[in-house]
């Protein structure tokens, strides 16, 4: 008798007896239903999307082989069961940003050195930094006006969160009215979390009630806060530490610590382990002390956050992309465990990148069950000599996808072969190549499928990206639905999404008659599609999924070009060496790689046709304004010559903070040139083009900085 394959290694369906198949189908039904509950109702998924998909695929395959299992109760009849109710969206007056991470003492030293360099601090000038625990919960913004709590929002994507005011008001330690004299407008930011003890008790109650358990305190806190019924939130013991602020009419102090002290006076909780230091040695000692207390704090923390104490310096330092230059998170080392590598699966992404994913024997790492891990790329697998069947060390750090750190070579079974990375796309069979960088002659680490226009995997991934939350944000058109519509031939390209309602009217059977869809879900989907026929231009640019054009670059391009047609024309004309290419290249933060990717994208006839089709369906709106009514907002500024009050980096950061866009060279698009002593050709060019030139002092005056 041959050995029965284990659960982790499913038998091929043909090998199953009807009885075995029925048992597996029933088991999967339970498992998937439980995951659905955790995902949709409890906000606490315990598996990755990929794992969930695998279960679902197997379940569906069983039904195809044994159609009698596909009864009315089957989960395949319930596709897209998204909850219809949802929270109102809230735009953050000041974005809720994230933090850069560092993991070693050297990186902390570098952080401090970088700050000092940026500020041009002399060696004998001290720099004071606060250090406080990084709470592993979810961040919230609490808006107080005249001391009253008016609005509480989750972080969301940093720019827009969800209104959770009713739920926040159930948290006893968050005052509805602040004490004493407070700023007229005050947005307090901090972390909502659940203590270990309360988490254990909650899971105990869930267990007794036969309800699904939460994977960790953070999921429990998130699930509790995102309850539509605030009576449920009220029964969940949540806590809050204040550590930052958003919009404030007048700051109560000039330092980070001073503001935290003010928060305390107002009746908010701040973390008692917050301290101020003036040397890196002290910061590190504090870090180690907090790390040593970690297990006894009673709540989860995942590192220490350092912040420059002086708020005037914070303002000078500003932000890079989505994180402040004046703060950093010093994370604790990741947690590790060993398990067996069952398989290596190759996923094909939107840009054709073949990404290897490790399928692992499930193992608990730091309280979370892990069954997939990132393998990065071909070279990484070869370098670590990772083979299917190996025992491997898995590491998990915070939210990052678990990684395979190394192979336990002693445990390698006899006869396992080195892994051979495929040279053809597993989805479309096109050749998969590693590009060679023309300039450096180096081979790209990523192997890519060359079948861009024929590869179904790339097409589906592009569509998923297009409809995704930070792109077109089409509710009800999630990954599963896109796959369904693609497989059914109903949506092959982005423009098909917008013609779907019209085409659907001619279809037989109609969508509402199909499995998994009903009148309401179809109506909701079509309404969601209609709602996106108008979209801000930056979101649209991002949605196109051009290589190297993420949200930040999409915003830069939208800010620079204003309208989509100018971007399109310039990019189409941007052959190497030409003026159009130089123009894109000179946009601040947008380099030659992006310029090339844009040209490749817009010069491709297929993309041209698709864009025409798409733009017939939708209307683009200007990008929402970022900065306030600053007189330089939306202007393109060039700094040239020696600046005396600002370093170049600072000047750039400052201008961007005021909503201006900084370019490296003077062109017709330039609105303003700030020139210091020694300015040369740029000043001359500005004069030729009749562009306004001001001094550094005038720049300060114009931006209202005296």
307 is catalytic: no
CB of 657 vs ligand IVH, minimal distance in Å: 13
| Residue closer to ligand IVH (CB basis): 98 or 617 | 98
The answer to whether residue 191 forms part of the interface with ligand IVH (CB under 6 A) is: yes
Q: Which stretch binds ligand IVH (CB under 6 A): 84-92, 132-140, 286-294, 510-518?
A: 132-140
Enter the tokens of residue 41.
Answer: 């109702």
Q: Which stretch binds ligand IVH (CB under 6 A): 127-135, 201-209, 403-411, 585-593?
A: 127-135
Q: Residues 329, 554, 614, 683: which binds ligand IVH (CB under 6 A)? A: 329
CB of 280 vs ligand IVH, minimal distance in Å: 19
CA 689 to chain centroid:
41
| Residue closer to ligand IVH (CB basis): 222 or 567 | 222
Q: Which stretch binds ligand IVH (CB under 6 A): 322-330, 332-340, 474-482, 484-492?
A: 322-330
Q: Residues 47, 99, 152, 541: which binds ligand IVH (CB under 6 A)? A: 99
Dump the DSSP string for 378-438: HHHHHHTT--TT-EEEEEE-TTSPPEEEEE-GGGPPTTPPPP---SB-TTT--BEEEEE-T
CB of 237 vs ligand IVH, minimal distance in Å: 19
Enter the tokens of residue 605.
Answer: 């006839």
Q: Residues 24, 51, 63, 132: which binds ligand IVH (CB under 6 A)? A: 132
Contacts of 119 (CB under 8 A, 6+ apart): 127, 313, 316, 317, 647, 650
| Residue closer to ligand IVH (CB basis): 245 or 601 | 245
Q: Which stretch binds ligand IVH (CB under 6 A): 93-101, 175-183, 438-446, 525-533?
A: 93-101
CA 7 to chain centroid:
33
* 424-460 burial: b if 16+ Cβ within 10 Å, else e: bbebbebebbbeeeeeeeeeeebbbbbbbeebbbbbb
Peptide bond into 460 cis (omega under 30): no
| Residue closer to ligand IVH (CB basis): 114 or 572 | 114
The answer to whether residue 135 forms part of the interface with ligand IVH (CB under 6 A) is: yes
| Residue closer to ligand IVH (CB basis): 135 or 149 | 135
Q: Residues 21, 47, 97, 129: which binds ligand IVH (CB under 6 A)? A: 97
Q: How far apart are the first and last CA of the chain?
A: 87
CB of 137 vs ligand IVH, minimal distance in Å: 7
| Binding to ligand IVH, residues 249-278 (CB under 6 A) | none
Contact 396, 368 (CB under 8 A): yes
H/E segment holding residue 344: strand 335-348
Place of tokens 């790390």: 291
Q: Residues 164, 327, 360, 459: which binds ligand IVH (CB under 6 A)? A: 327
Nearest residue to 99 (alpha-carbon basis) of 278, 282, 289, 319: 319
Q: Residues 98, 230, 470, 493: which binds ligand IVH (CB under 6 A)? A: 98
Residue with the shortest CB distance to ligand IVH: 139
CA distance 347 to 422: 11
> Partners of 149 in the beta sheet?
144
Q: Which stretch binds ligand IVH (CB under 6 A): 71-79, 91-99, 378-386, 642-650?
A: 91-99
| Residue closer to ligand IVH (CB basis): 51 or 132 | 132
With the C-alpha atoms ordered 396, 401, 405, 409, is the resulting torsion angle positive or negative?
positive
CB of 559 vs ligand IVH, minimal distance in Å: 22
Give all strands (DSSP E) within 606-678, no chain letters: 619-621, 636-640, 661-662, 672-675
| Residue closer to ligand IVH (CB basis): 187 or 191 | 191
| Binding to ligand IVH, residues 647-686 (CB under 6 A) | none
Contacts of 226 (CB under 8 A, 6+ apart): 43, 87, 154, 162, 164, 167
Contact 202, 223 (CB under 8 A): no
CB atoms within 10 A of CB 462: 21
Q: Which stretch binds ligand IVH (CB under 6 A): 12-20, 128-136, 596-604, 644-652?
A: 128-136
Contact 243, 189 (CB under 8 A): yes
**CA Rg value for the chain:** 28
Binding string to ligand IVH for residues 224 to 253, with x set by CB under 6 A, is what?
-------------------xx---------
Single out the catalytic residue among 78, 89, 134, 411: 134
Place of tokens 């390698």: 412
Q: Residues 188, 248, 257, 305: which binds ligand IVH (CB under 6 A)? A: 305
The answer to whether residue 194 forms part of the interface with ligand IVH (CB under 6 A) is: no
The answer to whether residue 546 forms part of the interface with ligand IVH (CB under 6 A) is: no
| Residue closer to ligand IVH (CB basis): 136 or 461 | 136
| Residue closer to ligand IVH (CB basis): 300 or 390 | 300
The angle formed by the CA atoms of residues 428, 430 and 435, to the nearest 5 degrees, is: 130
Q: Which stretch binds ligand IVH (CB under 6 A): 106-114, 134-142, 581-589, 609-617?
A: 134-142
Q: Residues 25, 134, 316, 330: which binds ligand IVH (CB under 6 A)? A: 134
* 15-21: long-range contacts, CB 8 A cutoff, minimum separation 24: 18/66, 21/62, 21/65, 21/66, 21/69
The answer to whether residue 324 forms part of the interface with ligand IVH (CB under 6 A) is: yes
CB of 304 vs ligand IVH, minimal distance in Å: 8
CA 6 to chain centroid:
36
| Residue closer to ligand IVH (CB basis): 329 or 341 | 329
SS3 for 151? Answer: strand
| Residue closer to ligand IVH (CB basis): 111 or 243 | 243
SS3 for 573? Answer: helix
Nearest residue to 283 (alpha-carbon basis) of 105, 125, 123: 105
| Binding to ligand IVH, residues 400-459 (CB under 6 A) | none
CA distance 267 to 492: 56
Size of the site for ligand IVH (CB under 6 A): 15
| Residue closer to ligand IVH (CB basis): 458 or 654 | 654
Give all strands (DSSP E) within 209-308, no chain letters: 239-248, 275-277, 301-308
CB atoms within 10 A of CB 86: 11
CB of 323 vs ligand IVH, minimal distance in Å: 7
CB of 397 vs ligand IVH, minimal distance in Å: 12
Q: Which stretch binds ligand IVH (CB under 6 A): 6-14, 57-65, 324-332, 556-564?
A: 324-332
| Binding to ligand IVH, residues 152-181 (CB under 6 A) | 155
Distances (CA, A) of 423 to 37, 416, 419, 433: 40, 21, 12, 7
Binding residues for ligand IVH (CB under 6 A): 97-99, 132, 134-135, 139, 155, 191, 243-244, 305, 324, 327, 329
> Catalytic residue positions?
134
């Amino acid at each position: 008798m041959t050995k029965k394959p284990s659960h982790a290694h499913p038998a091929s369906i043909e090998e199953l007896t009807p009885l075995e198949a029925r048992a597996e189908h029933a088991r999967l039904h339970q498992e998937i239903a439980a995951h659905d509950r955790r995902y949709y109702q409890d906000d606490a998924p315990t598996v990755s999307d990929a794992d969930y998909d695998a279960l679902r695929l197997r379940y569906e395959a069983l039904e195809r082989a044994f159609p009698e299992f596909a009864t009315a109760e089957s989960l395949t009849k319930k596709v897209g069961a998204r909850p219809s109710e949802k929270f109102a969206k809230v735009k953050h007056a000041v974005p809720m940003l994230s933090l850069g991470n560092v993991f070693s003492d050297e990186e902390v030293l570098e952080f401090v050195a970088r700050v000092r360099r940026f500020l041009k601090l002399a060696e004998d000038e001290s720099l004071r930094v606060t250090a406080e625990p990084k709470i592993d919960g979810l961040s919230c913004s609490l808006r107080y006006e005249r001391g009253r709590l008016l609005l509480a929002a989750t972080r969301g994507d940093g720019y827009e969160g969800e209104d959770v005011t009713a739920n926040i008001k159930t948290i006893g330690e968050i005052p509805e009215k602040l004490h004493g004299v407070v700023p007229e407008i005050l947005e307090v930011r901090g972390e909502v979390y659940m203590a270990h003890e309360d988490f254990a008790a909650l899971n105990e109650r869930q267990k007794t009630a036969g309800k699904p358990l939460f994977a960790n305190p953070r999921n429990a806190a998130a699930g509790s806060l995102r309850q539509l019924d605030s009576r449920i939130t009220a029964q969940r013991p949540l806590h809050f530490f204040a550590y930052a602020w958003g919009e404030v009419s007048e700051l109560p102090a000039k330092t980070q610590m001073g503001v935290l002290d003010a928060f305390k006076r107002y009746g908010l909780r701040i973390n008692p382990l917050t301290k101020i230091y003036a040397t890196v040695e002290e910061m590190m000692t504090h870090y180690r002390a907090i790390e040593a207390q970690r297990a006894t704090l009673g709540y989860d923390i995942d590192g220490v956050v350092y912040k420059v104490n002086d708020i005037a310096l914070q303002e000078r330092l500003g932000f890079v992309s989505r994180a402040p230059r004046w703060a950093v998170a010093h994370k604790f080392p990741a947690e590790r465990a060993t398990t067996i590598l069952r398989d290596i699966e190759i996923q094909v992404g939107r840009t054709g990148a073949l990404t290897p994913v490790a399928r692992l024997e499930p193992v608990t790492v730091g309280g979370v069950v892990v069954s997939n891990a990132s393998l990065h790329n071909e070279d990484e697998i070869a370098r670590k000599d990772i083979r299917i069947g190996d025992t491997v060390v898995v590491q998990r750090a915070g939210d990052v996808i678990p990684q395979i750190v190394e192979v336990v070579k002693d445990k390698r079974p006899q006869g396992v072969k080195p892994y051979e990375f495929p040279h053809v796309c597993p989805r479309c069979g096109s050749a998969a190549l590693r590009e060679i960088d023309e300039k450096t002659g180096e081979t790209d680490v990523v192997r890519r499928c060359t079948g861009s226009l024929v590869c179904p995997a790339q097409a589906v991934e592009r569509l998923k990206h297009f409809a995704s939350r930070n792109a077109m944000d089409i509710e009800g058109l999630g990954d599963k639905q896109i796959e369904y519509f693609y497989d059914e031939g109903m949506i092959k390209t982005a423009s098909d999404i917008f013609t779907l309602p019209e085409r659907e009217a001619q279809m037989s059977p109609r969508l509402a008659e199909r499995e998994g869809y009903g009148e309401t879900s179809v109506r909701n989907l079509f309404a969601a599609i209609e709602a996106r026929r108008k979209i801000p231009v930056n979101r649209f640019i991002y949605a196109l999924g051009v290589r190297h054009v993420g949200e930040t670059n999409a915003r830069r391009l939208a800010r620079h070009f204003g309208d989509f047609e100018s971007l399109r024309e310039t990019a189409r004309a941007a052959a190497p060496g030409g003026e159009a290419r130089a123009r894109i290249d000179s946009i601040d933060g947008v380099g030659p790689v992006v310029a090339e990717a844009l040209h490749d994208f817009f010069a491709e006839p297929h993309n041209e046709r698709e864009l025409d089709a798409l733009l017939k369906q939708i209307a683009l709106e200007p990008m929402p304004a970022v900065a306030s009514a600053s007189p330089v907002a939306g202007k393109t500024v060039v700094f040239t010559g020696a600046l005396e009050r600002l370093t170049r980096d600072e000047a750039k950061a400052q201008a961007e903070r005021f909503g201006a866009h900084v370019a490296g060279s003077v062109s017709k698009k330039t609105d303003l040139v700030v020139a210091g002593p020694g300015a040369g050709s740029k000043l001359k060019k500005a004069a030729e083009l009749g562009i306004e030139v001001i001094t550094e002092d005038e720049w300060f005056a114009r931006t209202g900085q005296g």
